């Protein structure tokens, strides 16, 4: 479903290369975890796949359902079924969660030929989704992420994922800043949402999240490349040994990290 | 693809009201002196006391200097080149709409202001002011049944001299400031409204100001009086054609609220703002002030300022009566080379008086947007309270936003709360919304609309659509 081929990307304003040839394939029904130290390019990879304007792809390709999405705007990628749960969800004062979600839902629905929902139908529809992440309904009338605690913001991302029903979800450090109870709620939500027809990419720093969401594959990213891939047991190995033992793999071809 | 360009195309959406109406004008000399002031008064068949009021103001004006304390620079108007009175030919007192010049009627229709009463928005009475004269006032009879007087100020001078004499200049004295003095000398038309005791005005009142003539200024004068236990809501809208020269608009608005009376005054200002290089556009120099004379009275100003090359405007409330309430809700949008220095004054004189100020400034392009507000608690204003919130939003790197709050308290029991924020419409915000499937333009529109929400909800419902349109909610332009 998602094929990333030899992806190179730079920060547009500075010309610094962050992604240095990433290869990754995600199929339907799979959960992938991407782990790695700070600054390894994990979050950049998620943003580039979602189409963030600060980055420019200089080489390689991103295929989604067999088609290159490099020329698509971020909203068009979202219409295709791509979802990014942000590491730092953005505040939008004065715009309620309901307003945003209904607009999002209907825009995506329209682009995919699904039926749009009027405000009352939409209200019914999201009630069930609220329970999934144990959100108080009051929360719907609050401004998007404005004045939310760190944990609430992360839960809101998963709530949006539940409402929008993406085909591929990239979850960028969704576990950071969550206490143990919130982590469990968020992880349960993701597990319930994931099925045979969608893919999930978890970007995480710690193995902790993977106790709750069991990945099919674990990848280690260092220096803008995936340097090692394996099954879920790789995560435990990393937890035990850290990333140092893999650093040397990032400098093959004499290229420094 | 940048958010700045998209936003500029949105806010800077081509000015739709820039057309000119071809009408024949009465001849009127250029420049200003006592004879011209007398001539204006004569055109309007004014009584002697009104002529004297004007002359007194003119003499005061000649001794005054044009102010320069605000945060804006512009070429001073050339008063000797200006035509101070501009009236379309053949507009004597009209009894029916059929007598209105068809060209002028068409103008208002193009602007979306039909003058035929049956076509009007439900329950909105309109006074249409074209250059210097009031063209037509709708729903007069229906208002009269309720005892409400709504007419042009010229008519009020003739028909209700006692009321005009008593109240005109009582809130904004002729010597108040340079442009108020000028207006008092040469004001041509405007609206007059009187709501008697124990009366709720049965419909929204509105005046639609149109400047058409290239070389004329518009000096309108509005006076609204709400007697004990009465209530009135009034809205003004403004547009002008696109000319390369600046045009001057210097209005004076006075509001008077007696015991338990409430006046809600809303403005949607969309004068032509000039081009990219700052050529043309209206100078909008306006004195608006309300007096809460009675106890438990309330005056509320709501403004959506999107047009004009230069705006200097501080709708204010003098809180005389005990327990009186003053409110100011403002959205000021500047783009291109526009300059706005706008805000309010809340002067607390009575006990337990309360004021609220919510100001939202949005700057884009090379524009400059300043909030200037004064909150004053006098010695006798026990337990006065003010809450001020001034938020600025910047779009792009070449615009400016400034906040100048002044607080003066002579009474230790007063309480002032002031909050201010400045934010930038960020790439991250737009990317976030785009990632949720929303297009770039819709994303910007959502962000701007969210930012102004607290103010927009204060506008009368009938005009919410116009306000949204102005803010670019319905985007037609393409993304840059």
Report the pLDDT value the prediction gives residue B2, as an integer from 0 to 100: 43
Query: Which residue from B437, B440, B451 is facing A78, i.e. has the nearest CB?
Result: B437
Residues of A with Cβ-Cβ distance to B452 under 8 angstroms: 94
3-state secondary structure of B146: coil
**pLDDT above 70: percentage of residues in chain A:** 97
Indicate whether B52 pLDDT > 90. yes
Per-residue pLDDT averaged across B204-226, rounded?
A: 81
Indicate whether B97 pLDDT > 70. no
Question: pLDDT: is B449 or B369 the higher one?
Answer: B369
Mutate one of A94, A100, A106, A164 to test the B interface: name it (highest B CB count within 10 A). A94
Q: How many CB pairs under 8 A join A and B?
A: 80
**pLDDT above 90: percentage of residues in chain A:** 69
Query: Which residue from A74, A103, A108 is facing B431, i.e. has the nearest CB?
Result: A74
3-state secondary structure of B305: strand
Query: Which residue from A90, A107, A111 is facing B429, i.e. has the nearest CB?
Result: A90
Question: pLDDT: is B120 or B303 the higher one?
Answer: B303
B interface with A, Cβ–Cβ below 8 Å: 1-2, 426-429, 431-440, 442, 446-447, 449-454
Residue B349, CA distances (Å) to B320, B341, B378 in order: 5, 26, 5
Yes or no, beta carbons of B436 and A143 under 8 Å apart: no
Yes or no, beta carbons of A74 and B434 under 8 Å apart: yes
Indicate whether A182 pLDDT > 80. yes
pLDDT for B219-267, tens place per residue? 889 999 999 999 999 888 766 666 667 778 899 999 999 999 999 999 8
CA distance B139 to A145: 47
CA distance B436 to B443: 10
Report the candidate in B234, B224, B300, B226 with the shortest Cα–Cα distance to residue B255. B224
Supply angle C-alpha B353, B356, B361, rounded to 5.
155
Yes or no, beta carbons of A94 and B449 under 8 Å apart: yes
Report the pLDDT value the prediction gives residue A62, as an integer from 0 to 100: 97
Mutate one of A54, A75, A141 to test the B interface: name it (highest B CB count within 10 A). A75
Yes or no, beta carbons of B437 and A79 under 8 Å apart: yes
Yes or no, beta carbons of B451 and A93 under 8 Å apart: yes
Cβ B26 vs Cβ B87: under 8 Å: yes
Residues of B with Cβ-Cβ distance to A164 under 8 angstroms: 436-437
Query: Which residue from B427, B433, B447 is facing A54, i.e. has the nearest CB?
Result: B427
- Confidence band, pLDDT 50/70/90 cuts, at residue B91: low
Report the pLDDT value the prediction gives residue B276, as an integer from 0 to 100: 77
Yes or no, beta carbons of A93 and B432 under 8 Å apart: no
Report the pLDDT value the prediction gives residue B131, as an integer from 0 to 100: 65
Nearest CA in chain A to B431: A52
Nearest CA in chain A to B432: A90
Yes or no, beta carbons of A74 and B427 under 8 Å apart: no
Yes or no, beta carbons of A90 and B453 under 8 Å apart: no
Give the H or E element holding residue B388: strand B385-394
List domains and CATH numbers for chain A. Answer: 2-256 (3.40.50.300)
Query: Which residue from B437, B447, B453 is facing A107, i.e. has the nearest CB?
Result: B437
Residues in chain A, how many? 257
Indicate whether B476 pLDDT > 60. no
Indicate whether B473 pLDDT > 60. no
Yes or no, beta carbons of A86 and B434 under 8 Å apart: no
Ordered strands of the A55-64 beta sheet: A17-26, A2-11, A55-64, A67-68
Choice among A243-247, B3-7, B443-447, B449-453 with the minimum mean pLDDT: B3-7
- Confidence band, pLDDT 50/70/90 cuts, at residue A12: confident
Query: Which residue from A53, A92, A108 is facing B437, i.e. has the nearest CB?
Result: A108
CA distance B18 to B447: 28
Query: What single DSSP character describes residue B299?
Result: E
pLDDT for A196-236, tens place per residue? 999 999 999 888 889 899 999 999 999 999 999 999 889 88
3-state secondary structure of B327: strand
Report the pLDDT value the prediction gives residue A257, as an integer from 0 to 100: 41
Among A7-16, B99-108, B212-221, which range has the highest average pLDDT?
A7-16
Question: pLDDT: is B171 or B124 the higher one?
Answer: B171
3-state secondary structure of B444: helix
Q: Note the pTM of the prediction, 2 decimals.
A: 0.80
Question: pLDDT: is B398 or B6 the higher one?
Answer: B398
Average pLDDT, chain B: 83
Yes or no, beta carbons of A74 and B449 under 8 Å apart: no
Yes or no, beta carbons of A73 and B434 under 8 Å apart: yes
Query: Which residue from B426, B428, B438 is facing A103, i.e. has the nearest CB?
Result: B438
Yes or no, beta carbons of B432 and A79 under 8 Å apart: no
Give the H or E element holding residue B254: strand B252-257
Report the pLDDT value the prediction gives residue B18, as an integer from 0 to 100: 66
- Confidence band, pLDDT 50/70/90 cuts, at residue B144: confident
Yes or no, beta carbons of B435 and A94 under 8 Å apart: no
Torsion, Cα of B97, B103, B108, B110 (10° steps): 140
Residues in chain B, how many? 480
Per-residue pLDDT averaged across B95-119, rounded?
A: 61
A interface with B, Cβ–Cβ below 8 Å: 50-54, 73-75, 77-79, 83-84, 86, 89-95, 99-100, 103-104, 107-108, 111, 143, 160, 164
Yes or no, beta carbons of A92 and B432 under 8 Å apart: yes
Report the candidate in B306, B302, B213, B396 with the shortest Cα–Cα distance to residue B15. B306
Residues 6+ apart with CB under 8 A from B457: none
Indicate whether A147 pLDDT > 50. yes
pLDDT for B159-187, tens place per residue? 999 999 999 999 999 999 999 999 999 99
Written as six digits, the tokens of B396 are 């792009």
Residues of B with Cβ-Cβ distance to A71 under 8 angstroms: none
Query: Which residue from A77, A94, A107 is facing B438, i.e. has the nearest CB?
Result: A107
CA distance A230 to A249: 15
Report the pLDDT value the prediction gives residue A32, as an integer from 0 to 100: 96
Choice among B77-91, B245-259, B265-279, B465-479 with the minimum mean pLDDT: B465-479
Indicate whether B418 pLDDT > 70. yes
DSSP codes joined into one string, chain A: -EEEEEEEEEETTT--EEEEEEEEEE-TT-EEEEE--TTSSHHHHHHHHHT-TTEEEEEEEEEETTEE-TTS-HHHHHHTTEEEE-SSPPPEEEEEHHHHHHHHHHHHHHHTTPPP--HHHHHHHHHHHHHHTT--GGGGGSEETTT--HHHHHHHHHHHHHHH--SEEEEESTTTT--HHHHHHHHHHHHHH--TT-EEEEEESSSGGGGTS--SEEEEEETTEEEEEE-THHHHHHHHH-SHHHHGGGGGGG---
Report the pLDDT value the prediction gives residue B457, as an integer from 0 to 100: 83
pLDDT for B295-354, tens place per residue? 999 999 999 888 888 999 999 999 999 999 999 999 998 888 889 999 999 999 999 999
Question: pLDDT: is A31 or A135 the higher one?
Answer: A31
Yes or no, beta carbons of B435 and A50 under 8 Å apart: yes
Residue A24: Cβ within 10 Å count: 20
Nearest CA in chain A to B425: A92
Choice among A79-83, A104-108, B98-102, B259-263 with the minimum mean pLDDT: B98-102
CA distance B480 to B478: 6
> What ipTM score was computed for the predicted complex, to two decimals?
0.94
Residues of B with Cβ-Cβ distance to A79 under 8 angstroms: 437
Strands A67-68 and A55-64: what pairing?
A: antiparallel
Nearest C-alpha of chain A: how many angstroms from B128? 35
Yes or no, beta carbons of A75 and B429 under 8 Å apart: no
Indicate whether B17 pLDDT > 60. yes
Cβ B23 vs Cβ B101: under 8 Å: yes
Report the pLDDT value the prediction gives residue B13, as an integer from 0 to 100: 55
Nearest C-alpha of chain B: how many angstroms from A126? 16
Nearest CA in chain B to A84: B435
Indicate whether B61 pLDDT > 70. yes
CA distance B27 to A125: 67
Query: Which residue from A52, A75, A93 is facing B439, i.e. has the nearest CB?
Result: A75
- Confidence band, pLDDT 50/70/90 cuts, at residue B10: very low
Yes or no, beta carbons of A104 and B436 under 8 Å apart: yes
Residues of B with Cβ-Cβ distance to A103 under 8 angstroms: 436, 438, 442, 446
């Amino acid at each position: 479903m998602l094929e990333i081929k030899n992806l190179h990307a730079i920060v547009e304003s500075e010309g610094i290369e962050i992604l240095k040839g990433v290869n990754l394939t995600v199929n339907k029904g799979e959960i992938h975890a991407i782990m790695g130290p700070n600054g390894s390019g994990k979050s950049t990879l998620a943003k580039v796949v979602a189409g963030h304007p600060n980055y420019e792809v200089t080489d390689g390709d991103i295929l989604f359902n067999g088609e290159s999405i490099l020329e698509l705007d971020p909203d068009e990628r979202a219409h295709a079924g791509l979802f990014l749960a942000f590491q730092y969800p953005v505040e939008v004062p004065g715009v309620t969660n309901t307003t945003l979600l209904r607009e999002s839902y209907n825009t995506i629905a329209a682009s995919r030929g699904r039926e749009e929902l009027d405000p009352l139908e939409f209200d019914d529809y999201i009630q069930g989704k609220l329970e999934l992440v144990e959100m108080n309904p009051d929360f719907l009338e609050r401004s998007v992420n404005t004045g939310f605690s760190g944990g609430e913001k992360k839960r809101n991302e998963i709530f949006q994922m539940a409402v929008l029903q993406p085909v591929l979800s990239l979850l960028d450090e969704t576990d950071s800043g969550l206490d143990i109870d919130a982590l469990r709620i968020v992880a349960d939500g993701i597990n319930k949402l994931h099925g045979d027809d969608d893919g999930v990419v978890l970007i995480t720093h710690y193995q902790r999240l993977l106790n709750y969401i069991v990945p099919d594959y674990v990848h280690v990213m260092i220096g803008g490349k995936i340097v090692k891939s394996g099954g879920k047991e790789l995560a435990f190995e990393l937890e035990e040994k850290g990333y140092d033992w893999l650093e040397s793999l990032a400098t093959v071809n004499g290229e420094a990290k | 693809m940048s958010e700045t360009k998209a936003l500029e195309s949105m806010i800077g959406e081509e000015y739709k009201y820039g057309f000119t109406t071809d009408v024949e004008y009465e001849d009127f000399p250029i420049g200003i002196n006592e004879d011209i002031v007398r001539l204006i008064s004569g055109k309007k068949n004014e009584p002697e006391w009104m002529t004297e009021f004007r002359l007194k103001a003119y003499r005061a004006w000649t001794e005054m200097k044009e102010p320069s304390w605000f945060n804006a620079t512009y070429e001073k108007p050339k008063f000797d080149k200006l035509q101070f009175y501009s009236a379309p030919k053949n507009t004597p007192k009209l009894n029916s709409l059929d007598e209105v010049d068809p060209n002028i009627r068409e103008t208002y229709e193009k602007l979306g202001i039909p003058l035929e009463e049956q076509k009007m928005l439900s329950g909105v009475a309109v006074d249409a002011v074209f250059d210097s004269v009031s063209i037509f006032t709708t729903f007069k009879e229906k208002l009269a049944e309720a005892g409400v007087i709504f007419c042009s100020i010229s008519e009020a001078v003739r028909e209700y001299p006692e009321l005009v004499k008593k109240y005109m200049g009582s809130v904004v004295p002729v010597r108040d400031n340079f442009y108020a003095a000028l207006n008092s000398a040469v004001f041509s038309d405007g609206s007059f409204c009187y709501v008697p005791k124990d009366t709720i005005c049965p419909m929204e009142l509105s005046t639609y100001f149109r400047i058409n003539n290239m070389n004329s200024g518009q000096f309108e004068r509005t006076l609204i009086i709400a007697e004990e236990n009465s209530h009135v809501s009034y809205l003004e809208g403004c547009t002008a054609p696109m000319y390369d020269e600046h045009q001057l608009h210097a209005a004076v608005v006075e509001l008077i609220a007696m015991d338990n009376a409430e006046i809600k005054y809303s403005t949607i200002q969309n004068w032509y703002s000039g081009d990219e290089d700052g050529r043309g556009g209206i100078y909008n120099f306006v004195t608006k002030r309300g007096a809460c004379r009675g106890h438990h009275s309330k005056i509320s100003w709501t403004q959506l300022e999107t047009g004009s090359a230069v705006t200097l405007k501080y709708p204010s409330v003098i809180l005389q009566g005990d327990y009186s309430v003053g409110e100011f809700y403002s959205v000021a949008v500047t783009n291109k080379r526009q300059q706005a220095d706008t805000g309010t004054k809340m002067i607390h004189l009575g006990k337990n008086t309360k004021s609220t100020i919510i100001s939202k400034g949005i700057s884009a392009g090379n524009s400059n947007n300043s909030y200037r507000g004064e909150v004053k608690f006098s010695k006798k204003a026990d337990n006065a309270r003010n809450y001020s919130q001034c938020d600025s939003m910047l779009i792009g790197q070449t615009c400016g936003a400034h906040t100048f709050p002044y607080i003066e308290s002579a009474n230790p029991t007063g309480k002032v709360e002031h909050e201010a924020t400045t934010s930038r419409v960020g790439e991250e915000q737009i990317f976030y919304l785009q990632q949720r499937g929303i297009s770039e333009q819709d994303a910007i529109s959502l962000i701007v609309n969210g930012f102004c929400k607290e103010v927009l909800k204060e506008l009368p419902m009938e005009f919410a659509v116009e306000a949204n349109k102005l803010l670019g909610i319905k985007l037609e332009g393409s993304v840059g």
